[in-house]
Structure 1
Amino acid sequence: MKVALFDFDGTLYAKETFQLLMDHLKQHPTHGSKYKAFFRGILPIYIGYKMKIVPEAKMRERSVQLYANALSTLSKMELEHYFAELKEIMRQDLNEEVVERVRQHHRDGMHVMLVSGAYTTLLHAVTDGIVFDTVIGTDIPFTEDGAFDSKTSIYHIQGKRKTEMIMESLQGKQIDWKHSFAYGDSYSDLPVLELVGNPVAVRPEERLRRVAEVRKWTII
C-alpha cells in the first residue's frame, strides 16, 4: 500500500490556524468575553518563548490547551458548531494545487492521510468534501455525556508525535514507503518527509527550503 501524507497549516491551508482561532474568539458575538482570560493565560508563556526560555513545542502545546480551556463550558456539539463557523473563511485559503494533489493520489489508489497539530474537529470541518482516508489531529477530550473533560490534558500532535501517530495508524499494514508521498512546509515536518521516497516541500520556510534544494526534492 502506498500512502500520501499531508500537513495542514502552511501546506493544505496557506495560513496559520492558531492566529485565526484567536481572532475568532476575540470577535465572537457569544464567546468573545472569554478572550481576555485566555490572553492573560497565554501571554506569560508566549513571552517566555520569545525570550528563548520556553521551547517552541511547549509553547504551542500550552497554547492549544489554554484555548480549549477557554471554551470548556461548551458541549461537544456546541464546539463543533463553533469550529464550523470558520469553515468557509478557511476554505478560501486552501492551496488548490495541494488539494488537487490530494485528489490525484486518491485516483492513484493511495491511502491519503491528513496529519496536523490543529484541532481534529476543525480539520474535519474545513476539509469537508475533500476525502481523506485518515485524519490525525489534536483531539479535545470530552466525557461520555459530551462535556469538556478538564481532567484529561490535550495531547498536541506536533514534532515526533506526528510520526508516532502515523505509524500507529498504519500498524499491521504493508507500506511501500519508497513510492509514497509526503507534503509539508516547515522544518519540523522533516521526520515525516523523510519517511517517503517522494517528499514535497510546499512554500517551505527557509530551513526546509535549503534541505529540499540540497536533496533535490520537489518544491511547490
Structure 2
Amino acid sequence: MRVAIFDFDGTLYAKETFQLMMDHLKNHSVHSRRYRKFYRAIMPPYLGHKLKIYPEAKMRARSVQAYLAALETFSKQELEEYFGEIAELMHDDFNHEVVERLKRHVSNDDYCMLVSGAFTPLLHAVTKELPIKKIIGTEVPYVADVLDHKTPVVHIQGPLKTEKILEELGDAPVDWQNSYAYGDSLSDVPVLELVGHPVAVRPEARLRTLASERNWEII
C-alpha cells in the first residue's frame, strides 16, 4: 500500500485559508458584527508572536479557538452552510499542478490523504469534487448539534499531523519508501520525512533550503 499525503494551505490550495476566513467574517452580510469579538481575542497572541515572545503554534491554536468562539450559537447545519460559503470562494485558487498530481496518484491506486490545520467541515466542502480517501483536519466540537466553542480545539499542526496520519493508517502495510508527501512550509517536515518521495510545493525559504540540501523534489 502506497500513500500520498497532501498539505492544504500553500500546497493543494495556493493561498491561506485563515486569512480568507477572517475576511469572510469581517465582510459577511449577516455575521460581520461577530468579527469585533474575534479581533479582540486574537490581537494579544498575534502581537506576542510578532514580538517573538509567544510561539507561533500557540498563536495559531488561539486564533482557531477564537474564530469558533465568534461563531457561538451556530448550529451544525448553520456552520456547515457558512463553511460552504467560504468553500465557494476558494475553487479558483487551487494549485492545479498539485491537483494533477493528486489525480495521478489516484490512478496509480495510491491512498490519498489530506492533512491540514483547517477546520474539517471546510476541507470536506472545498474538496468534495476531489478523489481524496481520507481528510484529517481540526475537528469542530458540538453539543446537541450546536457549536461548543468552550471545548478546547485540537489544532492539527506540526508533529500532530504525523501522529494523526500514523493513527489513521494503523497496522496497514504501508510502503513508505515508495510513498509521497507534499508540503510548503518547515512545519510540514515531519510528514515529508515519513516518505521516500517528499515534495516541497512553492516552499517557504527555510523549506526550500532544506529541500535543496536533501535533494527533495521542488515544484
Task: Decide: shared fold, TM above 0.5.
Answer: yes
- 1:14-62 Cα deviation digits (max 9, x unpaired): 0111111000000001100000111011111100110111100000000
- Per-residue deviation, 1:93: 0.3
Counterpart Cα distance in 2 of 1:72 and 1:42: 16
Percent same amino acid at aligned positions?
59
- 1:114-143 Cα deviation digits (max 9, x unpaired): 000000011011111101110000011012
Counterpart Cα distance in 2 of 1:117 and 1:85: 19
Please show how residues 45-84 of structure 1 align to structure 2 within 5 Å: 45-84=45-84
- Do residues 96 (structure 1) and 96 (structure 2) align? yes
- Do residues 193 (structure 1) and 204 (structure 2) align? no
Structure 2 partner of 1:202: 201
* Cα RMSD, aligned residues only: 0.7
Structure 1 partner of 2:163: 164
Paired residues, what number?
219
Amino acid at match of 2:160: R
Give TM-score, length-normalised by structure 1.
Answer: 0.98
Alignment partner of 2:59: what SS?
helix
Assess if the C-alpha contact under 8 Å between 2:69 and 2:150 holds in 1.
no
Please show how residues 74-153 of structure 1 align to structure 2 within 5 Å: 74-143=74-143, 145-153=144-152
Counterpart Cα distance in 1 of 2:60 and 2:46: 9
Alignment partner of 1:163: what SS?
helix
- Per-residue deviation, 1:172: 1.5
Amino acid at match of 2:217: T
Counterpart Cα distance in 1 of 2:155 and 2:94: 23
Structure 2 spans left out of the alignment, 5+ residues: none
Counterpart Cα distance in 1 of 2:12 and 2:153: 23
Counterpart Cα distance in 1 of 2:218 and 2:13: 16
Counterpart Cα distance in 1 of 2:16 and 2:100: 20
Give TM-score, length-normalised by structure 2.
Answer: 0.98
Amino acid at match of 1:196: V
Counterpart Cα distance in 2 of 1:88 and 1:29: 16
Structure 1 spans left out of the alignment, 5+ residues: none
- 1:69-120 Cα deviation digits (max 9, x unpaired): 1001110110000010022211100001101111110110010000000000
Amino acid at match of 2:137: G
Counterpart Cα distance in 1 of 2:7 and 2:54: 24
Alignment partner of 2:199: what SS?
strand
Amino acid at match of 1:156: H
- Per-residue deviation, 1:151: 4.2
Runs of 4+ with >3 A deviation: none
Structure 2 partner of 1:20: 20
- Per-residue deviation, 1:206: 0.5
